[in-house]
Structure 1
Amino acid sequence: MLVRRTLSRAPAAFSGAGAGNARNMATLREIELRLKSVKNIEKITKTMKMIASSQLTKAQRAMNAGKEYGVANSEVFAHSSTTSAANTSRLFIVVSSDKGLCGGIHSSVTKATRRAFSGSEESPLLEAETKKPVEVDGDSPIFIVGDKSKSQLSRVLANNLRMTFNQIGRDIPTFADAAGVADLIIKSGVTYDSVVIVYNKFVSAVSYEPAVMEVRGESALKESDGFKAYEMEDDFTKDLAEFSLANAIYAALVEGHACEVSARRNAMDNASKNAGDMITALQMKYNRGRQASITNELVDIITGASAL
Protein backbone atom coordinates (compact mmCIF):
# COMPACT_ATOMS: atom_id res chain seq x y z
CA MET A 1 0.00 0.00 0.00
CA LEU A 2 2.83 2.38 0.85
CA VAL A 3 4.49 1.71 -2.51
CA ARG A 4 1.23 2.35 -4.37
CA ARG A 5 0.65 5.67 -2.58
CA THR A 6 4.21 6.78 -3.36
CA LEU A 7 3.94 5.86 -7.03
CA SER A 8 0.56 7.60 -7.33
CA ARG A 9 2.04 10.88 -6.00
CA ALA A 10 5.22 10.76 -8.09
CA PRO A 11 3.68 11.47 -11.54
CA ALA A 12 1.87 14.55 -10.20
CA ALA A 13 5.12 15.88 -8.75
CA PHE A 14 6.99 15.24 -11.99
CA SER A 15 4.27 16.85 -14.13
CA GLY A 16 4.19 20.03 -12.00
CA ALA A 17 7.97 20.28 -12.05
CA GLY A 18 8.00 19.75 -15.79
CA ALA A 19 5.58 22.62 -16.37
CA GLY A 20 7.67 24.93 -14.18
CA ASN A 21 10.86 23.97 -16.01
CA ALA A 22 9.15 24.58 -19.36
CA ARG A 23 8.16 28.08 -18.28
CA ASN A 24 11.68 28.77 -17.05
CA MET A 25 13.18 27.55 -20.32
CA ALA A 26 10.79 29.72 -22.31
CA THR A 27 11.82 32.76 -20.26
CA LEU A 28 15.49 31.93 -20.72
CA ARG A 29 15.02 31.61 -24.47
CA GLU A 30 13.37 35.04 -24.59
CA ILE A 31 16.22 36.58 -22.61
CA GLU A 32 18.77 34.85 -24.83
CA LEU A 33 17.12 36.15 -28.01
CA ARG A 34 16.91 39.66 -26.61
CA LEU A 35 20.53 39.49 -25.51
CA LYS A 36 21.56 38.44 -29.00
CA SER A 37 19.62 41.30 -30.62
CA VAL A 38 21.11 43.89 -28.24
CA LYS A 39 24.62 42.59 -29.01
CA ASN A 40 23.93 42.99 -32.73
CA ILE A 41 22.70 46.54 -32.13
CA GLU A 42 25.86 47.30 -30.17
CA LYS A 43 27.99 46.12 -33.08
CA ILE A 44 26.08 48.41 -35.46
CA THR A 45 26.34 51.47 -33.19
CA LYS A 46 30.05 50.93 -32.64
CA THR A 47 30.59 50.64 -36.39
CA MET A 48 28.60 53.82 -37.05
CA LYS A 49 30.60 55.62 -34.36
CA MET A 50 33.87 54.61 -36.03
CA ILE A 51 32.61 55.78 -39.42
CA ALA A 52 31.44 59.12 -37.98
CA SER A 53 34.78 59.58 -36.21
CA SER A 54 36.65 59.07 -39.48
CA GLN A 55 34.34 61.50 -41.29
CA LEU A 56 34.59 64.20 -38.62
CA THR A 57 38.16 65.18 -39.50
CA LYS A 58 37.25 65.74 -43.16
CA ALA A 59 34.10 67.60 -42.20
CA GLN A 60 36.02 69.94 -39.87
CA ARG A 61 38.61 70.61 -42.56
CA ALA A 62 35.87 71.50 -45.06
CA MET A 63 34.12 73.63 -42.43
CA ASN A 64 37.25 75.67 -41.74
CA ALA A 65 37.70 76.28 -45.47
CA GLY A 66 34.02 77.12 -45.96
CA LYS A 67 33.99 79.65 -43.12
CA GLU A 68 36.22 81.91 -45.20
CA TYR A 69 33.29 82.44 -47.56
CA GLY A 70 31.15 83.64 -44.66
CA VAL A 71 33.92 85.98 -43.46
CA ALA A 72 34.14 87.53 -46.93
CA ASN A 73 30.39 88.17 -46.88
CA SER A 74 30.61 89.83 -43.49
CA GLU A 75 33.28 92.22 -44.73
CA VAL A 76 31.15 93.17 -47.72
CA PHE A 77 27.97 93.76 -45.72
CA ALA A 78 29.82 95.67 -42.99
CA HIS A 79 30.00 98.62 -45.41
CA SER A 80 26.30 98.54 -46.31
CA SER A 81 23.70 100.23 -44.16
CA THR A 82 20.93 98.18 -42.56
CA THR A 83 17.37 98.82 -43.64
CA SER A 84 14.73 99.25 -40.97
CA ALA A 85 13.20 96.06 -39.62
CA ALA A 86 9.67 97.26 -40.33
CA ASN A 87 10.32 97.70 -44.06
CA THR A 88 12.38 94.57 -44.57
CA SER A 89 10.92 91.50 -46.22
CA ARG A 90 12.86 88.41 -45.25
CA LEU A 91 13.29 85.00 -46.82
CA PHE A 92 14.26 82.13 -44.53
CA ILE A 93 16.54 79.23 -45.48
CA VAL A 94 16.60 76.37 -42.95
CA VAL A 95 19.67 74.14 -43.31
CA SER A 96 19.35 70.52 -42.16
CA SER A 97 19.80 67.16 -43.94
CA ASP A 98 18.02 63.96 -44.94
CA LYS A 99 19.74 61.66 -42.44
CA GLY A 100 18.75 60.75 -38.91
CA LEU A 101 20.35 58.99 -35.93
CA CYS A 102 22.16 62.18 -34.93
CA GLY A 103 20.33 63.42 -31.84
CA GLY A 104 18.48 66.74 -31.90
CA ILE A 105 20.53 68.31 -34.66
CA HIS A 106 17.48 68.87 -36.88
CA SER A 107 15.03 69.90 -34.20
CA SER A 108 17.42 72.65 -33.03
CA VAL A 109 17.15 74.62 -36.30
CA THR A 110 13.41 73.92 -36.43
CA LYS A 111 12.89 75.34 -32.95
CA ALA A 112 15.08 78.36 -33.78
CA THR A 113 12.94 79.07 -36.85
CA ARG A 114 9.73 78.80 -34.86
CA ARG A 115 11.12 81.17 -32.22
CA ALA A 116 12.06 83.68 -34.90
CA PHE A 117 8.53 83.64 -36.31
CA SER A 118 6.92 83.82 -32.87
CA GLY A 119 9.05 86.84 -31.90
CA SER A 120 9.96 85.37 -28.50
CA GLU A 121 12.83 86.71 -26.42
CA GLU A 122 14.85 83.60 -27.29
CA SER A 123 14.67 84.38 -31.00
CA PRO A 124 18.06 83.97 -32.71
CA LEU A 125 17.33 86.91 -35.04
CA LEU A 126 18.31 90.07 -33.13
CA GLU A 127 18.81 93.70 -34.08
CA ALA A 128 22.45 94.69 -34.41
CA GLU A 129 22.23 97.77 -32.17
CA THR A 130 19.55 97.05 -29.55
CA LYS A 131 19.98 93.23 -29.45
CA LYS A 132 16.20 92.89 -29.33
CA PRO A 133 14.26 90.26 -31.31
CA VAL A 134 13.44 91.36 -34.85
CA GLU A 135 9.78 91.32 -35.83
CA VAL A 136 9.27 88.81 -38.63
CA ASP A 137 6.35 88.88 -41.02
CA GLY A 138 4.19 85.81 -40.49
CA ASP A 139 3.96 85.34 -44.27
CA SER A 140 7.73 85.22 -44.81
CA PRO A 141 8.64 82.41 -47.24
CA ILE A 142 10.71 79.47 -46.04
CA PHE A 143 13.07 77.34 -48.13
CA ILE A 144 14.30 74.14 -46.49
CA VAL A 145 17.44 72.11 -47.20
CA GLY A 146 16.83 68.55 -45.95
CA ASP A 147 13.78 66.37 -45.43
CA LYS A 148 14.07 66.17 -41.64
CA SER A 149 13.28 69.84 -40.96
CA LYS A 150 10.70 69.76 -43.74
CA SER A 151 8.63 67.15 -41.90
CA GLN A 152 8.91 69.13 -38.65
CA LEU A 153 8.12 72.61 -40.01
CA SER A 154 5.30 71.39 -42.25
CA ARG A 155 3.21 70.82 -39.12
CA VAL A 156 3.33 74.42 -37.87
CA LEU A 157 4.45 76.60 -40.81
CA ALA A 158 3.05 74.71 -43.78
CA ASN A 159 1.69 77.86 -45.43
CA ASN A 160 5.15 79.46 -45.45
CA LEU A 161 6.96 76.62 -47.23
CA ARG A 162 7.91 77.50 -50.79
CA MET A 163 10.57 75.00 -51.83
CA THR A 164 12.56 72.13 -50.31
CA PHE A 165 15.86 70.55 -51.32
CA ASN A 166 17.09 67.03 -50.58
CA GLN A 167 20.04 64.80 -51.43
CA ILE A 168 22.36 67.65 -50.34
CA GLY A 169 24.94 66.83 -47.72
CA ARG A 170 25.09 63.07 -48.24
CA ASP A 171 28.80 63.71 -48.53
CA ILE A 172 30.73 66.89 -47.75
CA PRO A 173 28.77 69.78 -49.38
CA THR A 174 30.43 71.59 -52.25
CA PHE A 175 30.13 75.13 -53.54
CA ALA A 176 28.30 73.73 -56.59
CA ASP A 177 25.54 72.45 -54.27
CA ALA A 178 25.23 75.87 -52.64
CA ALA A 179 25.25 77.64 -56.01
CA GLY A 180 22.47 75.36 -57.26
CA VAL A 181 20.32 76.12 -54.21
CA ALA A 182 20.93 79.87 -54.57
CA ASP A 183 20.10 79.77 -58.28
CA LEU A 184 16.77 77.99 -57.68
CA ILE A 185 15.87 80.44 -54.91
CA ILE A 186 16.53 83.43 -57.18
CA LYS A 187 14.59 81.86 -60.05
CA SER A 188 11.62 81.06 -57.78
CA GLY A 189 10.37 84.62 -58.18
CA VAL A 190 10.05 85.30 -54.44
CA THR A 191 10.87 88.93 -53.64
CA TYR A 192 12.93 89.73 -50.55
CA ASP A 193 15.20 92.39 -49.09
CA SER A 194 17.35 89.98 -47.09
CA VAL A 195 17.85 86.26 -46.64
CA VAL A 196 18.04 84.74 -43.15
CA ILE A 197 19.89 81.40 -43.05
CA VAL A 198 19.16 79.27 -39.97
CA TYR A 199 21.85 76.63 -39.41
CA ASN A 200 23.78 74.82 -36.68
CA LYS A 201 26.94 76.52 -35.48
CA PHE A 202 29.88 74.28 -34.60
CA VAL A 203 31.02 75.05 -31.04
CA SER A 204 33.17 72.00 -30.28
CA ALA A 205 33.32 68.31 -31.08
CA VAL A 206 30.65 67.63 -28.46
CA SER A 207 28.38 70.68 -28.72
CA TYR A 208 26.60 72.87 -31.24
CA GLU A 209 24.02 75.65 -31.19
CA PRO A 210 21.52 77.14 -33.65
CA ALA A 211 22.61 80.37 -35.31
CA VAL A 212 21.45 82.75 -38.05
CA MET A 213 23.25 84.48 -40.88
CA GLU A 214 21.59 87.38 -42.67
CA VAL A 215 22.47 88.20 -46.27
CA ARG A 216 21.38 91.44 -47.97
CA GLY A 217 19.50 91.34 -51.23
CA GLU A 218 20.10 93.29 -54.41
CA SER A 219 17.88 96.25 -53.46
CA ALA A 220 19.53 96.63 -50.05
CA LEU A 221 22.97 96.73 -51.65
CA LYS A 222 21.90 99.36 -54.18
CA GLU A 223 20.52 101.65 -51.48
CA SER A 224 23.53 101.36 -49.18
CA ASP A 225 25.77 104.40 -48.82
CA GLY A 226 28.92 102.35 -49.15
CA PHE A 227 28.02 101.20 -52.67
CA LYS A 228 26.59 104.52 -53.81
CA ALA A 229 29.99 106.11 -53.38
CA TYR A 230 31.32 104.17 -56.38
CA GLU A 231 30.31 104.07 -60.01
CA MET A 232 29.20 100.56 -60.86
CA GLU A 233 27.52 98.77 -63.69
CA ASP A 234 23.83 97.99 -63.45
CA ASP A 235 24.32 94.24 -63.05
CA PHE A 236 27.10 94.52 -60.48
CA THR A 237 24.90 94.54 -57.38
CA LYS A 238 22.76 91.73 -58.80
CA ASP A 239 25.77 89.52 -59.42
CA LEU A 240 27.24 90.41 -56.04
CA ALA A 241 23.98 89.56 -54.26
CA GLU A 242 23.76 86.17 -56.01
CA PHE A 243 27.39 85.36 -55.28
CA SER A 244 27.05 86.46 -51.65
CA LEU A 245 23.97 84.26 -51.20
CA ALA A 246 25.82 81.25 -52.61
CA ASN A 247 28.77 81.98 -50.31
CA ALA A 248 26.57 82.18 -47.23
CA ILE A 249 24.67 78.99 -48.10
CA TYR A 250 27.93 77.14 -48.66
CA ALA A 251 29.35 78.30 -45.30
CA ALA A 252 26.13 77.20 -43.55
CA LEU A 253 26.07 73.83 -45.33
CA VAL A 254 29.60 72.81 -44.43
CA GLU A 255 29.26 73.96 -40.82
CA GLY A 256 25.91 72.20 -40.47
CA HIS A 257 27.43 69.04 -41.96
CA ALA A 258 30.27 69.10 -39.40
CA CYS A 259 27.73 69.50 -36.60
CA GLU A 260 25.69 66.58 -37.94
CA VAL A 261 28.69 64.23 -38.13
CA SER A 262 29.80 65.24 -34.63
CA ALA A 263 26.29 64.76 -33.24
CA ARG A 264 25.99 61.34 -34.91
CA ARG A 265 29.28 60.21 -33.40
CA ASN A 266 28.16 61.32 -29.93
CA ALA A 267 24.73 59.70 -30.39
CA MET A 268 26.26 56.39 -31.47
CA ASP A 269 28.71 56.55 -28.57
CA ASN A 270 25.84 56.99 -26.10
CA ALA A 271 23.87 54.23 -27.81
CA SER A 272 26.83 51.86 -27.54
CA LYS A 273 27.19 52.64 -23.83
CA ASN A 274 23.47 52.07 -23.25
CA ALA A 275 23.63 48.79 -25.18
CA GLY A 276 26.59 47.68 -23.04
CA ASP A 277 24.66 48.42 -19.84
CA MET A 278 21.64 46.54 -21.17
CA ILE A 279 23.82 43.56 -22.13
CA THR A 280 25.27 43.44 -18.61
CA ALA A 281 21.81 43.53 -17.03
CA LEU A 282 20.41 40.89 -19.40
CA GLN A 283 23.43 38.64 -18.92
CA MET A 284 23.03 38.81 -15.16
CA LYS A 285 19.31 38.09 -15.46
CA TYR A 286 20.03 35.15 -17.77
CA ASN A 287 22.64 33.71 -15.40
CA ARG A 288 20.27 33.99 -12.46
CA GLY A 289 17.49 32.34 -14.42
CA ARG A 290 19.82 29.57 -15.55
CA GLN A 291 21.01 28.95 -11.98
CA ALA A 292 17.40 28.87 -10.75
CA SER A 293 16.50 26.40 -13.50
CA ILE A 294 19.40 24.11 -12.58
CA THR A 295 18.48 24.33 -8.91
CA ASN A 296 14.87 23.42 -9.69
CA GLU A 297 16.01 20.44 -11.74
CA LEU A 298 18.22 19.22 -8.92
CA VAL A 299 15.37 19.63 -6.44
CA ASP A 300 13.06 17.65 -8.75
CA ILE A 301 15.59 14.86 -9.11
CA ILE A 302 16.21 14.62 -5.38
CA THR A 303 12.48 14.77 -4.64
CA GLY A 304 11.74 12.06 -7.17
CA ALA A 305 14.53 9.86 -5.86
CA SER A 306 13.31 10.34 -2.29
CA ALA A 307 9.73 9.53 -3.33
CA LEU A 308 10.79 6.30 -5.04
Structure 2
Amino acid sequence: MATLREIELRLKSVRNIEKITKSMKMIASSKLAKAQKAMEAGKAYGIANKEVFTHVPSDKPTPNKLLIVVSSDKGLCGGIHSSVSKATRRAMANVEDSPLAGSNPNDATVDATSPIVVVGDKSKAQLLRVAGDNFQLTFNQIGRDIPTFADAAIIADLIITGNIKYDSVVIVHNKFVSAISYEPTAVEIKGEEALKESNAFKVYENEDDATKDFAEFSLANAIYAALTEGHACEQSARRNAMDNASKNAKDMINSLQMQYNRGRQAAITNELVDIITGASAL
Protein backbone atom coordinates (compact mmCIF):
# COMPACT_ATOMS: atom_id res chain seq x y z
CA MET A 1 0.00 0.00 0.00
CA ALA A 2 1.28 3.49 -0.91
CA THR A 3 2.49 5.65 1.94
CA LEU A 4 1.03 9.08 2.68
CA ARG A 5 4.15 10.69 1.26
CA GLU A 6 3.79 8.84 -2.04
CA ILE A 7 0.11 9.75 -2.29
CA GLU A 8 0.92 13.39 -1.55
CA LEU A 9 3.54 13.48 -4.32
CA ARG A 10 1.09 11.83 -6.74
CA LEU A 11 -1.56 14.40 -5.87
CA LYS A 12 0.85 17.23 -6.55
CA SER A 13 1.82 15.70 -9.90
CA VAL A 14 -1.80 15.20 -11.03
CA ARG A 15 -2.73 18.76 -10.00
CA ASN A 16 0.11 20.10 -12.16
CA ILE A 17 -1.08 17.98 -15.08
CA GLU A 18 -4.61 19.35 -14.63
CA LYS A 19 -3.30 22.92 -14.81
CA ILE A 20 -1.44 22.10 -18.04
CA THR A 21 -4.43 20.41 -19.71
CA LYS A 22 -6.75 23.27 -18.75
CA SER A 23 -4.32 25.78 -20.25
CA MET A 24 -4.00 23.73 -23.44
CA LYS A 25 -7.79 23.49 -23.67
CA MET A 26 -8.10 27.30 -23.48
CA ILE A 27 -5.41 27.74 -26.13
CA ALA A 28 -7.06 25.18 -28.43
CA SER A 29 -10.45 26.88 -27.95
CA SER A 30 -9.05 30.24 -29.04
CA LYS A 31 -7.29 28.64 -32.04
CA LEU A 32 -10.45 26.75 -32.99
CA ALA A 33 -12.38 29.98 -33.55
CA LYS A 34 -9.69 31.22 -35.97
CA ALA A 35 -9.44 27.81 -37.64
CA GLN A 36 -13.20 27.72 -38.27
CA LYS A 37 -13.07 31.12 -39.96
CA ALA A 38 -10.21 29.94 -42.17
CA MET A 39 -12.11 26.72 -42.91
CA GLU A 40 -15.17 28.64 -44.13
CA ALA A 41 -12.93 30.61 -46.47
CA GLY A 42 -11.19 27.44 -47.66
CA LYS A 43 -14.47 25.60 -48.22
CA ALA A 44 -15.42 28.16 -50.84
CA TYR A 45 -12.53 26.89 -52.97
CA GLY A 46 -13.57 23.28 -52.47
CA ILE A 47 -17.23 23.96 -53.28
CA ALA A 48 -16.26 25.73 -56.50
CA ASN A 49 -14.13 22.75 -57.51
CA LYS A 50 -16.91 20.30 -56.75
CA GLU A 51 -19.43 22.24 -58.82
CA VAL A 52 -17.09 22.35 -61.80
CA PHE A 53 -16.43 18.61 -61.81
CA THR A 54 -20.10 17.84 -61.14
CA HIS A 55 -21.29 19.81 -64.17
CA VAL A 56 -18.35 18.74 -66.32
CA PRO A 57 -17.96 15.00 -65.74
CA SER A 58 -15.06 13.20 -67.36
CA ASP A 59 -15.78 10.38 -69.80
CA LYS A 60 -12.26 8.97 -69.54
CA PRO A 61 -11.59 6.33 -66.87
CA THR A 62 -8.87 7.21 -64.38
CA PRO A 63 -7.13 3.94 -63.47
CA ASN A 64 -4.03 5.61 -62.05
CA LYS A 65 -4.88 7.48 -58.88
CA LEU A 66 -2.56 9.51 -56.68
CA LEU A 67 -3.41 9.53 -52.97
CA ILE A 68 -2.79 12.69 -50.95
CA VAL A 69 -3.14 12.08 -47.20
CA VAL A 70 -3.63 15.27 -45.16
CA SER A 71 -2.69 15.27 -41.46
CA SER A 72 -0.23 17.30 -39.35
CA ASP A 73 2.92 17.05 -37.23
CA LYS A 74 1.34 17.61 -33.81
CA GLY A 75 -0.18 15.15 -31.37
CA LEU A 76 -2.28 15.36 -28.19
CA CYS A 77 -5.45 15.48 -30.27
CA GLY A 78 -6.97 12.03 -29.89
CA GLY A 79 -7.23 9.65 -32.82
CA ILE A 80 -7.67 12.25 -35.54
CA HIS A 81 -4.51 11.21 -37.40
CA SER A 82 -5.28 7.52 -37.01
CA SER A 83 -8.68 8.00 -38.63
CA VAL A 84 -7.07 9.39 -41.80
CA SER A 85 -4.48 6.61 -41.90
CA LYS A 86 -7.13 3.91 -41.40
CA ALA A 87 -9.29 5.44 -44.15
CA THR A 88 -6.29 5.40 -46.49
CA ARG A 89 -5.56 1.76 -45.73
CA ARG A 90 -9.23 0.83 -46.27
CA ALA A 91 -9.22 2.63 -49.61
CA MET A 92 -6.06 0.83 -50.71
CA ALA A 93 -7.57 -2.50 -49.64
CA ASN A 94 -10.80 -1.73 -51.60
CA VAL A 95 -12.98 -2.10 -48.51
CA GLU A 96 -16.66 -1.37 -49.17
CA ASP A 97 -16.95 1.31 -46.46
CA SER A 98 -13.82 3.15 -47.59
CA PRO A 99 -14.02 6.90 -48.34
CA LEU A 100 -13.95 6.11 -52.09
CA ALA A 101 -17.10 3.99 -51.95
CA GLY A 102 -19.67 5.38 -54.34
CA SER A 103 -17.21 6.94 -56.78
CA ASN A 104 -17.48 6.49 -60.53
CA PRO A 105 -17.85 2.74 -61.18
CA ASN A 106 -16.05 3.13 -64.52
CA ASP A 107 -12.89 4.24 -62.72
CA ALA A 108 -10.50 1.78 -61.16
CA THR A 109 -10.36 1.99 -57.41
CA VAL A 110 -7.25 2.78 -55.43
CA ASP A 111 -5.05 -0.27 -55.04
CA ALA A 112 -2.05 -1.28 -52.97
CA THR A 113 0.38 0.08 -55.58
CA SER A 114 -1.07 3.60 -55.82
CA PRO A 115 1.48 6.39 -55.26
CA ILE A 116 1.05 8.34 -52.03
CA VAL A 117 1.83 11.91 -51.00
CA VAL A 118 1.66 12.51 -47.24
CA VAL A 119 1.22 15.88 -45.53
CA GLY A 120 2.18 15.64 -41.86
CA ASP A 121 4.58 13.47 -39.88
CA LYS A 122 1.86 11.70 -37.88
CA SER A 123 0.22 9.89 -40.80
CA LYS A 124 3.64 9.43 -42.39
CA ALA A 125 4.81 7.38 -39.41
CA GLN A 126 1.58 5.35 -39.38
CA LEU A 127 1.54 4.58 -43.12
CA LEU A 128 5.28 4.04 -43.45
CA ARG A 129 4.99 0.52 -42.05
CA VAL A 130 2.37 -0.67 -44.55
CA ALA A 131 2.86 1.53 -47.63
CA GLY A 132 6.33 3.03 -47.33
CA ASP A 133 7.32 1.84 -50.81
CA ASN A 134 4.46 3.88 -52.34
CA PHE A 135 5.62 7.20 -50.90
CA GLN A 136 6.45 9.79 -53.55
CA LEU A 137 6.56 13.01 -51.52
CA THR A 138 6.18 13.88 -47.85
CA PHE A 139 5.63 17.31 -46.30
CA ASN A 140 5.94 18.59 -42.75
CA GLN A 141 5.82 21.94 -40.93
CA ILE A 142 2.50 22.61 -42.73
CA GLY A 143 -0.41 23.37 -40.42
CA ARG A 144 1.64 24.62 -37.49
CA ASP A 145 -0.42 27.75 -37.98
CA ILE A 146 -3.52 28.32 -40.11
CA PRO A 147 -2.78 26.90 -43.60
CA THR A 148 -2.62 29.36 -46.47
CA PHE A 149 -3.22 29.03 -50.19
CA ALA A 150 0.53 29.46 -50.69
CA ASP A 151 1.10 26.22 -48.74
CA ALA A 152 -1.36 24.40 -50.98
CA ALA A 153 0.17 25.91 -54.12
CA ILE A 154 3.64 24.70 -53.10
CA ILE A 155 2.34 21.15 -52.56
CA ALA A 156 0.50 21.17 -55.90
CA ASP A 157 3.52 22.55 -57.74
CA LEU A 158 5.88 19.91 -56.34
CA ILE A 159 3.41 17.16 -57.25
CA ILE A 160 3.05 18.42 -60.82
CA THR A 161 6.78 18.95 -61.34
CA GLY A 162 7.69 15.71 -59.56
CA ASN A 163 7.04 13.49 -62.61
CA ILE A 164 4.38 11.50 -60.76
CA LYS A 165 2.10 9.72 -63.22
CA TYR A 166 -1.59 9.91 -62.35
CA ASP A 167 -4.97 10.32 -64.02
CA SER A 168 -6.70 11.74 -60.98
CA VAL A 169 -5.86 12.79 -57.44
CA VAL A 170 -7.71 11.51 -54.37
CA ILE A 171 -7.33 13.70 -51.28
CA VAL A 172 -8.05 11.90 -47.99
CA HIS A 173 -8.65 14.25 -45.06
CA ASN A 174 -10.86 14.81 -42.03
CA LYS A 175 -14.26 16.39 -42.64
CA PHE A 176 -15.48 18.87 -40.03
CA VAL A 177 -18.94 17.74 -38.90
CA SER A 178 -19.29 19.77 -35.71
CA ALA A 179 -17.16 21.11 -32.88
CA ILE A 180 -17.21 17.67 -31.25
CA SER A 181 -17.13 15.31 -34.23
CA TYR A 182 -15.30 14.70 -37.49
CA GLU A 183 -15.06 11.91 -40.05
CA PRO A 184 -12.57 10.93 -42.76
CA THR A 185 -13.59 11.70 -46.32
CA ALA A 186 -12.09 11.65 -49.80
CA VAL A 187 -12.28 14.14 -52.66
CA GLU A 188 -11.31 13.19 -56.21
CA ILE A 189 -9.82 15.72 -58.65
CA LYS A 190 -9.48 14.84 -62.32
CA GLY A 191 -6.16 15.33 -64.06
CA GLU A 192 -5.38 17.28 -67.22
CA GLU A 193 -5.81 14.36 -69.63
CA ALA A 194 -9.14 13.34 -68.09
CA LEU A 195 -10.42 16.89 -68.59
CA LYS A 196 -9.27 16.98 -72.21
CA GLU A 197 -11.15 13.76 -72.96
CA SER A 198 -14.36 15.00 -71.35
CA ASN A 199 -17.04 15.71 -73.95
CA ALA A 200 -18.73 18.19 -71.62
CA PHE A 201 -15.45 20.06 -71.07
CA LYS A 202 -14.69 20.19 -74.82
CA VAL A 203 -17.75 22.39 -75.29
CA TYR A 204 -15.79 25.33 -73.88
CA GLU A 205 -13.11 24.97 -76.60
CA ASN A 206 -10.27 25.78 -74.26
CA GLU A 207 -6.69 25.83 -75.40
CA ASP A 208 -4.28 23.22 -74.07
CA ASP A 209 -2.52 25.75 -71.84
CA ALA A 210 -5.82 26.84 -70.33
CA THR A 211 -6.78 23.25 -69.55
CA LYS A 212 -3.41 22.61 -67.98
CA ASP A 213 -3.64 25.75 -65.86
CA PHE A 214 -7.15 24.87 -64.78
CA ALA A 215 -6.09 21.36 -63.72
CA GLU A 216 -3.21 22.78 -61.65
CA PHE A 217 -5.37 25.48 -60.09
CA SER A 218 -8.17 23.04 -59.23
CA LEU A 219 -5.64 20.74 -57.53
CA ALA A 220 -4.30 23.63 -55.44
CA ASN A 221 -7.87 24.66 -54.56
CA ALA A 222 -8.78 21.16 -53.37
CA ILE A 223 -5.59 20.83 -51.32
CA TYR A 224 -6.19 24.21 -49.69
CA ALA A 225 -9.77 23.27 -48.75
CA ALA A 226 -8.54 19.96 -47.29
CA LEU A 227 -5.75 21.66 -45.31
CA THR A 228 -8.03 24.24 -43.71
CA GLU A 229 -10.75 21.72 -42.88
CA GLY A 230 -8.22 19.26 -41.47
CA HIS A 231 -6.68 22.04 -39.35
CA ALA A 232 -10.09 22.93 -37.89
CA CYS A 233 -10.73 19.26 -37.09
CA GLU A 234 -7.35 19.01 -35.38
CA GLN A 235 -7.98 22.03 -33.13
CA SER A 236 -11.45 20.74 -32.27
CA ALA A 237 -10.09 17.28 -31.43
CA ARG A 238 -7.28 18.77 -29.33
CA ARG A 239 -9.72 20.88 -27.34
CA ASN A 240 -11.93 17.86 -26.69
CA ALA A 241 -8.93 15.72 -25.77
CA MET A 242 -7.65 18.31 -23.29
CA ASP A 243 -11.15 18.70 -21.85
CA ASN A 244 -11.39 14.94 -21.27
CA ALA A 245 -7.88 14.89 -19.80
CA SER A 246 -8.81 17.67 -17.38
CA LYS A 247 -11.92 15.79 -16.28
CA ASN A 248 -9.94 12.57 -15.79
CA ALA A 249 -7.31 14.45 -13.78
CA LYS A 250 -10.05 15.94 -11.59
CA ASP A 251 -11.53 12.49 -10.95
CA MET A 252 -8.09 11.14 -10.10
CA ILE A 253 -7.45 14.04 -7.71
CA ASN A 254 -10.71 13.32 -5.88
CA SER A 255 -9.85 9.63 -5.61
CA LEU A 256 -6.32 10.31 -4.39
CA GLN A 257 -7.53 12.97 -1.96
CA MET A 258 -10.01 10.49 -0.43
CA GLN A 259 -7.30 7.85 -0.23
CA TYR A 260 -4.94 10.35 1.42
CA ASN A 261 -7.58 11.44 3.94
CA ARG A 262 -8.37 7.84 4.88
CA GLY A 263 -4.68 7.03 5.30
CA ARG A 264 -4.10 10.14 7.37
CA GLN A 265 -7.13 9.35 9.55
CA ALA A 266 -5.88 5.80 10.08
CA ALA A 267 -2.43 7.07 11.02
CA ILE A 268 -3.89 9.52 13.56
CA THR A 269 -6.11 6.78 15.01
CA ASN A 270 -3.11 4.48 15.41
CA GLU A 271 -1.14 7.22 17.14
CA LEU A 272 -4.03 7.86 19.55
CA VAL A 273 -4.29 4.16 20.30
CA ASP A 274 -0.57 4.04 21.05
CA ILE A 275 -0.85 7.08 23.35
CA ILE A 276 -3.89 5.70 25.21
CA THR A 277 -2.29 2.27 25.52
CA GLY A 278 0.90 3.78 26.89
CA ALA A 279 -1.00 5.93 29.37
CA SER A 280 -3.04 2.92 30.59
CA ALA A 281 0.12 0.87 31.05
CA LEU A 282 1.61 3.59 33.27
The question of whether the paired residues in 1 share the 8 Å contact of 2:93 and 2:111 is answered with no
SS state at 1:154 partner = helix
User: How far off its partner does 1:144 sit?
Assistant: 0.5
User: How far off its partner does 1:82 sit?
Assistant: 3.2
The question of whether the paired residues in 2 share the 8 Å contact of 1:89 and 1:137 is answered with no
Question: Greater Rg, structure 1 or structure 2?
Answer: 1
Question: Where do 1:201-220 residues align within 5 Å?
Answer: 201-220=175-194
The question of whether the paired residues in 1 share the 8 Å contact of 2:84 and 2:173 is answered with yes
SS state at 2:185 partner = strand
- Counterpart selection for 2:100 from 122, 125, 141: 125
Task: Summarize deviations over 1:146-191 as a string: whole Å, max 9, x none.
Answer: 0000010011111111111000001110000110111111111101
Structure 2: distance between partners of 1:127 and 1:48: 39
Task: Summarize deviations over 1:65-93 as a string: whole Å, max 9, x none.
Answer: 110000111122123333565x5200000
- Counterpart selection for 1:109 from 81, 84, 96: 84
Aligned match of 1:11 = none
SS state at 2:36 partner = helix
1:74 pairs with 2:50 = yes
1:156 pairs with 2:130 = yes
- Counterpart selection for 2:195 from 187, 208, 221: 221
User: How far off its partner does 1:232 sit?
Assistant: 2.3
State the superposition RMSD in angstroms. Answer: 1.7
Structure 2: distance between partners of 1:30 and 1:84: 69
1:42 pairs with 2:14 = no
The question of whether the paired residues in 2 share the 8 Å contact of 1:91 and 1:142 is answered with yes
User: How far off its partner does 1:129 sit?
Assistant: 5.8
What letter corresponds to residue 20 of structure 2 in structure 1? I
Aligned match of 1:28 = 4
Structure 1: distance between partners of 2:138 and 2:48: 27
Structure 2: distance between partners of 1:238 and 1:106: 33
Question: Where do 1:1-308 residues align within 5 Å?
Answer: 27-83=3-59, 87-128=62-103, 135-308=109-282
Unaligned runs of 5+ residues in structure 2 are none
What letter corresponds to residue 268 of structure 2 in structure 1? I
What letter corresponds to residue 118 of structure 1 in structure 2? A
The question of whether the paired residues in 2 share the 8 Å contact of 1:52 and 1:264 is answered with yes
SS state at 2:91 partner = helix
Structure 2: distance between partners of 1:133 and 1:191: 16
The question of whether the paired residues in 2 share the 8 Å contact of 1:119 and 1:134 is answered with no
Identity of aligned pairs, percent?
73
Structure 1: distance between partners of 2:196 and 2:233: 35
Moved more, 117-126 or 202-211: 117-126
User: How far off its partner does 1:138 sit?
Assistant: 2.0
What letter corresponds to residue 285 of structure 1 in structure 2? Q
Cα distance 1:37–1:133, how it changes in 2: closer, same or farther (>3 A)? Answer: farther
Cα distance 1:112–1:37, how it changes in 2: closer, same or farther (>3 A)? Answer: same
